[in-house]
Amino acid sequence: MDYFLSEEQSMIVEIAKQITDERIIPQRAELDRKDEFPRDILNSMAQADLFGVPIPEEYGGFGGGCLDIVLALEQLGRGCIGVGTAFAASALGVYPIIISGSEELKEKYLPPVAAGKKFAAFGLTEANAGSDASGIQTTAVLDGEEWVLNGTKQWITNGGEAQIYTVVAITDRKKGPRGASMFVVEEGDAGFSCGPKEKKMGIRASSTTELIFKDCRIPKDRIIGRAGTGFVTVMKTLDSSRPGIAALGLGIGQACLDESTTYAKQRVQFGKPIISFQAVQHILADMAIQLEASRALVYSAAKHIDAHPKDMSKVSSMCKVMATDMAMKVSIDAVQVMGGYGYMREYPVEKMMRDAKILQIYEGTNQVQRNVIGQELNKEYSRR
């Protein structure tokens, strides 16, 4: 369908498409097999200015909106959401600085990320704080001119690969959620280290590690915003980033539809290509319907967010749920259409199905998203 993209948006799509077709697709199986971080591919994205898309123009970026980043991630997701996740996580890592950071922090950290010279990561999750962020144990205590961080973050995307980490720590336990703050930690800060790479079901090209803080001392001015505003920043960050996750779902959905339809046209059984059987046609038709409906919602949500940045929670959650549930469903269907071949590692849909699962889990499980949507509905209808 024609979504009447602007000329600049079409350029973003073209660039991301070329990177996907020429760099990601030829390498994705090997990256998956070797659990290998796609540094070369990310470097070519940097050279193509993609890292600058979400960063404001005054800090060396393109000041792109939600839809711009969605379009890029959709293409990357079509190739490999492991690579897409590594890219998206860098943007996620600097959103807190863009949203709440001081001018000094912005000037220091945004230009190298916009240029793709440095990668970023976002540290929220802990062993006892996933969907329930209030369980955070990591602490930050002001000691003279320095903050002292202690604690361990878990499952942090780009861990060990990023140079800039934005992390949430409790600065005042008594205040509950209002006692959390965000900080910038740099690779090489004393007392900061990353754990070994986790072994995952999918998105194996992305790096996932613990972030370990043992009396990690950082300068006082590395706090993002005022003390106690950490949760607000986290929520706004996740609201902004969720359509990107939805976009990865669109990419995977498109890839699954492409692979299985192409296969169904070639595969001959009972003397005919299997696409001539209604049983197969209906599966493919349902895949296409769900994919296009999801795309329409994700693009509309992204445009809404660009136009109404203060009213993004509900639409952001809605598009994440719909597109990622679609991705899971469609990838399962793609494997089904391709039968035994689909289940084999030499065909790409096996990996897509493994990869798709994470989309329903990370950046807020789809159950939590539904909670958010439900709560927003409750609020809206109370105001009537």
Partner 1 sequence: MKIIVCVKQVPDAKDVRLDPKTNTLAREGVQSIMNPYDQYALEEAVLLKEQLGGEVTVLSMGPPQAVDVLRQAISLGADHGVLVSDRAFAGADTWATSYTLAKAIHKIGDFDLILCGKQAIDGDTAQVGPGLAIQLDIPFVTCIQKVREASESELVLERMMDDGYDVVAVSLPVLLTVVKDLNIPRIPSLKGKMKAKKAEFKILSAEDIGADSACIGLAGSPTQVVSVFPPPPRGERAVLTGTVEEQIEQLVEKIAVYL
Partner 2 sequence: MLIVDSELCIGCGVCEESCAFGAIEVIDGCAVVGDACTLCGACVENCEVEALQIEGAEKSVQADLDSWRGVWVYCEFRAGTLAPVSLELLGAGRKLADARGVHLSAVLIGAGTGDTAQRLIGHGADIVYQVDDPALAYFTDEAYGAVLIDLIKKHKPEIVLAGATAIGRSFIPGVANSLGAGLTADCTHLDIRLDDGALLQTRPAFGGNIMATIVCLSSRPQMSTVRPKVMQAMEFDAARQGKIVNVTPDPVLLQTKVRVLESVVFEQDDVNIQESDILVAGGRGMDNAKGFELIRELADSIDAAVAASRAVVDAGWIGYPHQVGQTGKTVAPKLYIACGISGAIQHVAGMQSSETIVAINRDENAPIFDVADFGIVGDMYKIIPMLISKIEGHRKS
Q: Which does 53 bind (CB under 5 to 8 A by kind): partner 1, partner 2, none?
A: partner 1
What residues pair up with 140 in beta bridges, in sequence order? 149
End-to-end CA distance of the chain: 36
Residues between 242 and 271 that touch partner 2 (CB under 8 A): 266
**Any contact of residue 48 with partner 1 (CB under 8 A)?**
yes
Instruction: Among 5, 35, 36, 49, indicate the residue that binds partner 1 (CB under 8 A).
Output: 49
Minimal distance in Å, beta carbon 276 to partner 2? Answer: 16
Total number of residues that touch partner 1 (CB under 8 A) = 18
Minimal distance in Å, beta carbon 47 to partner 1? Answer: 5
Q: How far is CA 182 from CA 167, 210, 221, 357, 383, in A?
A: 5, 17, 11, 29, 32
Q: Which is nearer to partner 2, 26 or 219 (CB)?
A: 26
**Any contact of residue 103 with partner 2 (CB under 8 A)?**
no
Nearest-CA neighbor of 92 among 106, 74, 113?
113
Stretch that binds partner 1, among 46-54, 98-106, 200-208, 249-257 (CB under 8 A): 46-54
**Any contact of residue 18 with partner 2 (CB under 8 A)?**
no
Nearest-CA neighbor of 117 among 23, 45, 18, 194?
45
Q: Say if CB 186 and CB 165 are below 8 A apart.
A: yes
Torsion of CA 169, 173, 179, 183, to 10 degrees: -20
- Residue listed under structure tokens 């990320």: 113
Q: How far is CA 134 from CA 177, 183, 185, in A?
A: 6, 17, 21
What x/- string results for residues 289 through 328 when contact with partner 2 is judged by CB under 8 A? ----------------------------------------
* Site residues (vs partner 2, CB under 8 A): 26, 30, 266, 346
* Site residues (vs partner 1, CB under 8 A): 7-8, 11-12, 14-15, 18-19, 22-23, 44, 47-50, 52-53, 62
Q: Which residues are catalytic?
A: 363
